[in-house]
Chains A and B, each alone.
Chain A
């Protein structure tokens, strides 16, 4: 098995947490001195 190739392929998948990011969101802004 080519571990290097496997690692490369595995690492290119979109992270599951990004794949389910909701389309509807709100935005908040803060200054933190």
Chain B
């Protein structure tokens, strides 16, 4: 994973925003290195991240793969067929064209890390421009850790690559000790 962003996609309404989302769906977009992870592997994570046989609550909050081109459409359809075969029931998750992607408002981006004052302040000093902050792999990683993802081994491998001061590293580690059963991992 190189970078992430959230926004509105899949619909036809022009210029959606949070208050006027129209027929779009809240969407996470991931830039990834295909030398490190394949689209198929990303789809595997996606299928494991929700209940594919369940109905979505609404168009705004819909489980969907939004494909960017014909290759992604075919890979996603094949992947969906595999999941249906494994589950033995219909998958209700949509596979649909992206059409357009509109960035969500700034306050939605990297939302979780912004709730952690010390870490947010450190990364904001490095990236005073919000667009750069959003596009940072380090910020995306920190947002993921703060959301409860990752594990102790992964953190040990990359904590020195996230650009944090020693105080920032301690703040992150202390937070994860509270969040995870850190010492049992």
Contacts and interface: CB of A to CB of B under 8 A. Distances in A.
Interface in B99-140: 101, 122, 125-126, 136-138
Nearest to A13: B163
B152 interface: no
Contact of A17 (B57, B63, B65, B161): B161
A30 B27 contact: yes
A25 B32 contact: yes
Interface in B42-64: 42, 46, 49-50, 56-58, 61-64
Q: Which interface class (under 10, 10 to 19, 20 to 34, 35 or more) fits B?
A: 35 or more
Nearest to B158: A17
B138 A18 contact: yes
B9 A17 contact: no
B173 interface: no
B33 interface: yes
A7 B168 CA distance: 10
Contacts of B10: 31
Contacts of B73: none
Interface residues of A, number: 23
A32 B132 CA distance: 25
Given A15-B161, A22-B35, A29 B29 contact: yes
Interface in A1-33: 7-8, 10-18, 21-22, 24-33
B81 interface: no
A26 B65 CA distance: 15
Contacts of A32: 26, 28, 46, 49-50, 63
B143 interface: no
A33 B165 CA distance: 36
Interface in B11-48: 25-35, 39, 42, 46
18 contacts: A8-B125, A14-B163, A15-B137, A15-B164, A16-B160, A17-B163, A18-B136, A18-B137, A24-B33, A26-B39, A27-B30, A27-B31, A28-B29, A29-B65, A30-B46, A31-B10, A32-B26, A33-B58
